[in-house]
Structure 1
Amino acid sequence: MRGLAFRNSLHLPLAAFLILLLCFLLYHYNGRPLQQTYTTVVPNSPSSLRRQELVQVLKKVAMSDRTIILTMVDESWASPGSVLDIFLESFKYGEDTQMFLNHLLVIAMDTKAYQHCISLHHHCIHPNTFANYFATKTQSTTSPDHSSFSWRRNNVLLEMLGLGYNTIFTEADVLWLRNPLSHFDPIHELSISCDSSDNGQTGHYFHDGGLFFLKANAIAFEFLKYWKLFKVLYPKSLDRSSLCATITQNQDVVEAYGFRVNHIKETYFGGFCQQTKNTLREAYTIHANCCDDLTSKVQDLRSVLDDWIQFRKNVSGTDKMIMRRPGKCLGWKFT
């Protein structure tokens, strides 16, 4: 008994020391930018060469504050006349958005998507760079914001943050109408717009607004690792693929990590579901949400972009111009 008591007396100070050490490390690294965190790879191996290529591209694409704009597409979203075409075109017609094409990195999830991407844009990443994530990719003719896509995106975001790059992630079915940078607070780890809906079966649900900003620091990196682990622990959870749902339904975890969230007004980063008569005057981006059919998505994105182009030309009559409803996607459901 005396021996057991002696061992217990040693364990308590050791546990206290470890807790203090952990607190010190969290305090010391709180908010600090990440440095490269990857394990060493064999020089001149395929993985090493792909990593070197990615690093070189990121250096070219990054803004002065090491921020990149990132999107991901597969073959169904990157073909002639597809979502990617309209997405890139929106930067050319937006207010102060054309410059962002120099900072936009498009990650192709398959070879056909890559071939089409390089015919349109200077900064496209071959799927081999992230071969481990895309090897089991299944083709989808609907919105890519499904579970498998979200978790491939999560892995890519972890790599970007691990390399020390702030990341603006945008879905490819988002039209960039105006420069959104003023809404991204560099103090917060995450700046995001969330919209909510009630599907009648599972109750209130929060959806990502199609675009968000992630700050590259240790807090954001660790929280994304938690998000990845959350999928494994709760594979049937409805919020496992939505960042908005995750932070909303897990406030205790968000606070424990010190993960600071800047919630952006929905009307600024809006979507088809959130359209109002002031959308063209207020929105910085418009997301083709509430639309699962790819053909309908492309047609309505084209219609909205055409309305935006006319809106900008019709300077004297902008107060009277209203964006047409996304008739193909929403149809009679639109109100």
Structure 2
Amino acid sequence: MAAPPPLTVTRAANETGAATPDQQGPGGTAARRVISALLFLAAVALPCLVVYRHRASALGDVLVPARLGAPRDDDVDLVSIDGAKLEKVLRGAAMANDTVILTTLNAAWSEPGSVLDVFLESFRTGESTRELLDHLVIVSLDAAAHERCRQVHRHCFALITGGVNFSGQKNFMTDGYLKMMWSRINFLGQVLEKGFSFIFTDTDIVWFRNPLPHFYLDGDFQIACDHFTGDPDDLSNAPNGGFAYVRSNSETIEFYRFWYAAREKHPGLHDQDVLNSIKHDSFVTKLGVKIKFLSTELFGGLCEPSRNMSRVCTMHANCCIGLSRKISDLNAMLRDWRKFKALPRDDKHSVSWTVPRNCR
């Protein structure tokens, strides 16, 4: 198939009286070889391109980027990561099965007396949670948060985000909030690519018990809910991205790439709303990632508080706007928990949550 073009060129040269490649000596032979090589590459590449375009079309409308964090001209929320340093921090905090606990923090939530203090105190007062602090990595989004982390915790990682200041309070659905949420998805995807599974927890969550024994054995991506239908496999559950357990495998890596890329198809929406959309996507079905939704009895929140203080693992200050309101109700949760722990076993049933209060 590659022969006709060189023959055509040779005939045209002969007709004008110019020398043919054979008549040009060693240089002509080299030129002929280069032309043949280029034509061969074109013949191989064209079918591959057709196959690739067909596969991309079959996987869904959103093209999955080759790698999370691939730069775009308008991608001001792009995360810049020192890969070697990140891997060192993750390795230092990882459990035996390469699982880490991750939370993100900015300056507003890191000040003394703010959300971070309540968060860390919950680990110290919970059942079988103190030792989990050895596996917690606090990912700071600005210099002030990183400095505070280094004062109060062992495993800290500074995340640099180009063109965005994440230090102040980010109210729900503001531009700064959306950029912060999508930067988080980008970062978590890169953690998976490095081979680490993770429990991600918002800092406005208090931990009462070790959640690891309560995760599903067959779940790749397990996420808490604002509302739980009672069926962990029901896609109509309302997920909350503030708490998730994700195993690192090829399915979850591709799932996070797809999730992050889907922000372009859904401008102005945060990661949770986009997740609600893509969980039904044919790409996710074909990918085979096993999604599980966590019961609010074990992983509750102000949207739907746990009804069982004898089993609850975490409580989230969700469905609450305003930093001072969150801090108030998080402290109330800790007081309720301490009261529950102090009572004799037979009297523990008499304790219930006094929240929501300020977050109503």
| TM bucket, shorter chain | 0.7 to 0.9
Contact 2:118 2:331 in 1 (8 A): yes
For 1:282, what is the secondary structure of its paired residue? coil
RMSD of Structure 2 on Structure 1 (CA): 3.4
Contact 1:96 1:178 in 2 (8 A): yes
For 1:150, what is the secondary structure of its paired residue? helix
Alignment match, 1:100: 132
In the alignment, does 2:265 pair up with 1:233?
yes
Contact 1:170 1:211 in 2 (8 A): yes
In the alignment, does 2:83 pair up with 1:54?
no
For 1:281, what is the secondary structure of its paired residue? coil
Q: What pairs up with 1:38-77 in 2 under 5 angstroms?
A: 50-77=82-109
For 1:280, what is the secondary structure of its paired residue? coil
Alignment match, 2:288: 258
Question: TM-score, normalized by length of structure 2?
Answer: 0.71
Q: Deviations over 1:273-326 (max 9, x none)?
A: 2125x3423321100011111011101101111110121111332111111122
In the alignment, does 2:141 pair up with 1:109?
yes
Separation (CA, whole Å) in 2 of partners of 1:208 and 1:78: 22
Give the deviation of 1:180 after TM superposition. Answer: 0.7
In the alignment, does 2:355 pair up with 1:325?
yes
Q: Select between 295-304 and 136-145 the one with higher mean Cα deviation.
A: 136-145
Alignment match, 1:308: 337
Alignment match, 1:87: 119
Alignment match, 1:290: 319
Contact 1:234 1:240 in 2 (8 A): no
Alignment match, 2:7: none
Aligned residues: percent identity?
A: 30
Q: Deviations over 1:216-275 (max 9, x none)?
A: 111111111111111012214x46444651454x24232021111122212211101212
Separation (CA, whole Å) in 2 of partners of 1:315 and 1:181: 26
Q: 1:254 to 1:275 in 2, by over 3 A?
A: same
Q: Deviations over 1:165-188 (max 9, x none)?
A: 001110000111111112323532
Contact 2:263 2:271 in 1 (8 A): yes
Instruction: Note the residue ranges of structure 1 that are not aligned, 5 or more in a row.
Output: 4-9, 27-35, 40-46, 198-203, 331-335
Alignment: residue pair count: 289
Opposite residue 320 of structure 2, the aligned amino acid is C
Opposite residue 286 of structure 2, the aligned amino acid is A
Q: 1:243 to 1:270 in 2, by over 3 A?
A: farther
Alignment match, 1:182: 213
Opposite residue 196 of structure 2, the aligned amino acid is Y
Separation (CA, whole Å) in 2 of partners of 1:49 and 1:135: 15
Contact 2:241 2:272 in 1 (8 A): no
Q: 1:241 to 1:263 in 2, by over 3 A?
A: closer
Q: Select between 163-172 and 48-57 the one with higher mean Cα deviation.
A: 48-57
Opposite residue 164 of structure 2, the aligned amino acid is T
Question: TM-score, normalized by length of structure 1?
Answer: 0.76
Q: What pairs up with 1:86-165 in 2 under 5 angstroms?
A: 86-126=118-158, 130-131=159-160, 133=161, 135-142=163-170, 146-165=177-196
Alignment match, 2:298: 268
Separation (CA, whole Å) in 1 of partners of 2:154 and 2:243: 21
Opposite residue 92 of structure 2, the aligned amino acid is K
Give the deviation of 1:143 after TM superposition. Answer: 5.7
Give the deviation of 1:48 after TM superposition. Answer: 11
Give the deviation of 1:59 after TM superposition. Answer: 1.2
Contact 1:194 1:207 in 2 (8 A): yes
Separation (CA, whole Å) in 1 of partners of 2:111 and 2:81: 28
Give the deviation of 1:124 after TM superposition. Answer: 1.0
Alignment match, 2:20: none
Contact 2:101 2:199 in 1 (8 A): yes
Contact 2:200 2:245 in 1 (8 A): yes
Contact 1:191 1:213 in 2 (8 A): yes
Opposite residue 107 of structure 1, the aligned amino acid is V
Opposite residue 152 of structure 2, the aligned amino acid is L
Alignment match, 2:249: 217
